[in-house]
Amino acid sequence: MKNLIYIVFSFLLISCNTIRVDYDYDRATNFSNYTTYNYFSDIESGLSELDEKRLVKALDSTLQAKGYLLAEEPDFFINILSSEFRTASSNNVGIGVGGGGGNVGGGVSVGLPIGNSGWQRQIQFDFVDSQKDALYWQAVTESGFRDNASPSVREERLQALIVKVFKKFPPEK
């Protein structure tokens, strides 16, 4: 029984730190045509200035490790949008009492919430072809967020997010 409690607790900790990523892209796109990138000049990411710098630094290092170059006249532009929202507690315990016999029945049920609601951050990455001015790849992430996290924790969290987002970029045919 004690081991079961540790296992459940471990899963709860892991689930709080998961990063979910949804991808979408134009299947007709030849991703090998894109070798240079830059950011939209009027980017309004919705992140704090420091978090935006951390995210761009992680994004630059990841894209450059994949062979992409930052350029003044790029093949594609990157736009970043983010939002934060509070999620309701989805964990609860139901307690029920029931009984009956013959033609008589009854029951009582109570739902008890467990845990607090938490903050989530959604970050969207849009890759736009600079010649066609058309979106060709997009990733939307959702993950837990703590506003009072230390700078090193914020940097690690954003780096982990970028790693997960670009694990499947460019998409395989």
Q: Which secondary-structure segment (H or E) carries 10?
A: helix 2-16
pTM for this one?
Answer: 0.72
* Backbone torsions φ then ψ of 128, nearest 5 degrees: -120, 125
pLDDT at 11: 44
Ordered per-residue pLDDT tens for the chain, 173 residues: 555 554 544 444 444 458 899 999 999 999 999 999 999 988 888 888 998 999 999 999 999 999 999 999 999 999 999 887 776 555 555 555 556 566 655 555 555 555 555 778 899 999 999 999 999 999 999 988 777 788 898 899 999 999 999 998 888 86
Domains of the chain from N-terminus onward = 19-24+34-86+117-173 (3.30.160.670)
Interval 86-104: pLDDT, tens: 765 555 555 555 565 666 5
DSSP letters, 32-80, are GG--EEEE-TT---SS-HHHHHHHHHHHHHHHHHTT-EE-SS-SEEEEE
Interval 115-124: pLDDT, tens: 555 778 899 9
Rounded Cα distance between 112 and 7, Å, is 22
Pairing state between β 118-129 and 134-144: antiparallel
**162-166 CB contacts, 8 Å cutoff, 24+ apart:** 162/55, 162/58, 162/59, 162/62, 163/62, 164/19, 164/21, 165/21, 165/125, 165/139, 165/141, 166/62, 166/63, 166/66
Rounded Cα distance between 124 and 47, Å, is 12
Instruction: Name residues whose C-beta falls within 8 Å of residue 128's C-beta, 6 or more positions apart in sequence.
Output: 40, 76, 77, 78, 79, 134, 135, 136
